[in-house]
Amino acid sequence: MCSGDADDPVCSAGASCTITGDGVLNLCLPTCNPWLDDCGEGQVCVPNSADFWCVPELADPTGIGEACSVINECVSGSTCVNDVDCEFGSCCSPYCDLADPDPNAPCAEDQVCIAWFDPPDQAPPGLQSLGVCVLQ
C-alpha cells in the first residue's frame, strides 16, 4: 500500500503508486524498464503516466501488429497504442530507440519511431530515447 496522501503518494525505492477506485485502492507496484524485460515470471512491463510498472501478464499475450484492448495484453517489448491501423483501432506496437542509428528498425514498413516521453527530459533515467512505432 502507498503511504502519504493522494497528492503526494510514497512508495519504497523501485516502486511507484497507483491510485484507483477514486482513492480506495492505493498500491505500490514495481517499476521496470520496457527494454530490459526486468519483471518477474508471469509479469509484463506496462506504461503508466510517468514511468512503467510490472503487472500480471495475460495467459496468451497478443503479438506485435495484432489488435489489443488492454494495457497488459501485448507481448514483452511492445505496448497497446491507439494510432496504428487495426481492427479495433489499437494494436501491439514495438518500442524503439531514438538514439539507435536506425530507430525505425523494429517498426513495420509503414511506421516510424516517435518519442514516448514528450519532452524527453521528463523521462525516467535511462529512458530519454525510448520511442514507440506508430503509423507515419
pLDDT digits (tens, 9 = 90+) for 91-124: 899 999 999 999 999 998 888 999 999 888 888 8
Contact 70, 80 (CB under 8 A): yes
**pLDDT (0 to 100) of residue 87:** 60
End-to-end Cα spacing for the chain: 41
Contact 47, 71 (CB under 8 A): yes
Q: How far is Cα 28 from Cα 1, in angstroms, rounded to an integer?
A: 6
DSSP H or E stretch at residue 25: strand 25-30
Q: Across the chain, what does the average pLDDT equal?
A: 86
3-state helix, strand, coil in the chain (%, to 5): 0, 40, 60
Residue 16 corresponds to which cell in the numbers above? Answer: 511507484
Residue 23 clears pLDDT 70, i.e. is over it: no
With bands split at pLDDT 50, 70 and 90, how would you rate the model's confidence at 8?
Answer: confident
Query: Which residue, 17, 41, 49, is CA-closest to 30?
Result: 17
Neighbours of 119 (CB within 10 A): 8
